[in-house]
């Protein structure tokens, strides 16, 4: 698993990975949920010293300053696994069940990405190591949007209807970008949504 934790946190004004949801920092919550399901957890960050206490693999962007696409690239290079579940550190309700289901859909594909509410969810998706070269080319061409590299890869989209059949909650795609989002996430935990 690759956790992207290198954002600028411009809207939040604080490092989002360490904001508390469900009585613990989001990064600790994500790592805890993943430990029983992943043989390797990699955090990609521009502040590696802040994450070493988690006892996981920590790395930084190889091509810095280019957003989540650069984080995926660095994580894929560092990973010892061919397929890697990629999530953002500000997604407090990740689903390891969804990660496993995406893995089962992976054969002959480079990216397996869920689609919810009409939009692709590239930061809760599965990427193969085959993506690394294509992502690197894109980064050198100043491409920053993750889905923009999909055109040159074998992508399988998992539609919302399938996700519903699998019993996947829409909350897995919720991310915390603002103080208001953090309040919503905390209330979701309290209301067990």
| CATH value at residue 44 | 3.90.550.10
Average model confidence (pLDDT) for the chain? 93
Which SS3 state, helix, strand or coil, does residue 141 take?
coil
For the stretch 89-112, pLDDT in tens is 999 999 999 999 999 999 999 999
Q: Residue 6's pLDDT band (boundaries 50, 70, 90)?
A: confident
As for how many domains the chain has, the answer is: 1
pLDDT of residue 192: 64
Q: Would you state the pLDDT for residue 46?
A: 92
pLDDT digits (tens, 9 = 90+) for 110-154: 999 999 999 999 999 999 999 999 999 999 999 999 999 999 999
72 touches 79 (CB < 8 A): no
* Rounded CA separation 84/67 (Å): 18
**β-bridge partners, 57:** 42
Domain that holds residue 30: 2-190
pLDDT of residue 11: 60
Q: Count CB atoms within 10 A of the CB of residue 98.
A: 23
| Residue 84 token pair | 């890697």
Q: pLDDT over 90 for what percent of the chain?
A: 88
* Virtual torsion, Cα 1, 59, 21, 115, nearest 10 deg: -40
User: Cα separation of 154 and 192, whole Å?
Assistant: 37
Single pTM value for the model: 0.94
Predicted pLDDT of residue 189: 87
What pLDDT, in 10s, does the model give residues 8-58?
A: 655 666 789 999 998 999 999 999 999 999 999 999 999 999 999 999 999
Q: Of 83, 6, 105, 87, which is closest to residue 47 (Cα–Cα)?
A: 6
**pLDDT given at position 138:** 96
| Residue 169, pLDDT score | 93
Contact 46, 61 (CB under 8 A): yes
Position 158 scores a pLDDT of 98
Where does the pLDDT of residue 191 fall: very low under 50, low under 70, confident under 90, or very high at 90 and above?
Answer: confident
Rounded Cα distance between 66 and 144, Å, is 6
């Amino acid at each position: 698993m690759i956790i992207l934790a290198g954002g600028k946190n411009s809207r939040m004004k604080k490092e989002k990975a360490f904001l508390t949801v469900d009585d613990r920092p989001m990064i600790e919550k994500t790592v805890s949920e993943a430990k029983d399901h992943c043989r390797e957890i990699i955090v990609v960050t521009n502040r590696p010293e802040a994450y070493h206490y988690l006892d996981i693999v920590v790395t930084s962007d190889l091509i810095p300053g280019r957003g989540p696409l650069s984080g995926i690239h660095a994580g894929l290079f560092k990973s010892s696994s061919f397929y890697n579940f990629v999530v953002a550190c500000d997604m407090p309700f990740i689903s390891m069940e969804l990660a496993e289901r995406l893995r089962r859909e992976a054969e002959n594909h480079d990216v397996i990405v869920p689609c919810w509410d009409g939009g692709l969810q590239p930061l809760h998706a599965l990427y193969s190591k085959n993506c690394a070269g294509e992502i690197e080319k894109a980064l050198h061409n100043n491409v920053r949007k993750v889905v923009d590299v999909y055109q040159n890869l074998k992508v399988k989209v998992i539609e919302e209807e399938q996700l519903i059949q699998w019993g996947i909650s829409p909350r897995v795609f919720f991310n915390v970008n603002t103080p208001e989002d953090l309040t919503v996430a905390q209330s979701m935990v309290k209301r067990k949504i």
